[in-house]
Copies of this chain bind each other. A is one copy, B any other.
Amino acid sequence: MRISELVQRSGVPLATVKYYIREGLLMPGETTSATQARYSEAHVRRLNLIRALTDVAGLPLQKAGIVIGLIDHPQPNLFDTLGKAVAALPPYADAGEADAPDYPRAKAALEKLGQVYDPQYAAVAQLERALAAAASVGMAISDERLLGYGEQIMRITEFDIDAVPTDTVHDAIEHSVLGTALYEPIILAMRRLAHQDLAARRFGGG
């Protein structure tokens, strides 16, 4: 298809499509002459992915580019790839770690949960920040609640892991990376809705 059709199919404005190509998020079309290029279904899907990662998962374009890059050119193994993908997801712990580079809260939590983890994994720092942020406004989470969360979350991730395709490594990696990023908004929306449901049942309509 030509670019005008790609624009129509994807709903992304022409100038924006060109911008994404310039930024390396969207692969260029196959040029057939000096002023023509041919685009495929893969381009439509890629545009959907860019929009999903930015608009729904909330990633800045540059981080979406990292995630997309990992799908196109994954690291040799699943753990490294997922590790880099997770580091591209908010909250970004890039700064302000000089205070507590040992992640005391996160480590304590993970040990109580009996979980295996790599201390270098970005999610450890992310958990530390999230726990510290809650505590800093007087909303520190109780151990009991944290353990309860952990148990249910482990059940949720069992669904995730069960759904990972095992045919090829590439498929497994792509599915894991996208599943990590794209199912998070689903989980959050469901929790918000569950709050409403449960509050209505407990406290009645008001």
Contacts and interface: CB of A to CB of B under 8 A. Distances in A.
A193 to B, nearest CB: 5
Given A134-B52, A137-B45, A163 B191 contact: no
Question: Chain copies in the assembly?
Answer: 2
Given A91-B58, A175-B139, A192 B86 contact: yes
Contact of A56 (B106, B129, B159): B129
Contacts of A78: 199, 203, 206
Interface string A183-206: 111111111111111111111011
A190 B142 CA distance: 15
A178 interface: yes
A198 B45 CA distance: 30
Contact of A115 (B150, B180, B193): B193
Interface in A35-82: 45, 48-49, 51-52, 55-58, 77-79, 82
Interface string A130-158: 11011011110110011011101111111
Contacts of A130: 56, 182, 185-186, 188-189
Nearest to A45: B137
A123 interface: yes
A92 to B, nearest CB: 8
A197 B206 CA distance: 41
A48 to B, nearest CB: 4
- Kindly list the 5 A-B residue pairs having the minimum CB-CB distance in the complex, ordered from nearest: A127-B189, A123-B192, A130-B185, A52-B133, A157-B194
30 contacts: A45-B136, A45-B138, A48-B137, A52-B134, A56-B91, A58-B91, A79-B196, A79-B206, A82-B196, A89-B192, A115-B197, A123-B193, A124-B193, A127-B189, A130-B185, A133-B185, A134-B182, A139-B175, A139-B178, A146-B186, A148-B156, A149-B187, A150-B190, A153-B191, A154-B197, A157-B194, A160-B195, A161-B198, A161-B199, A187-B188
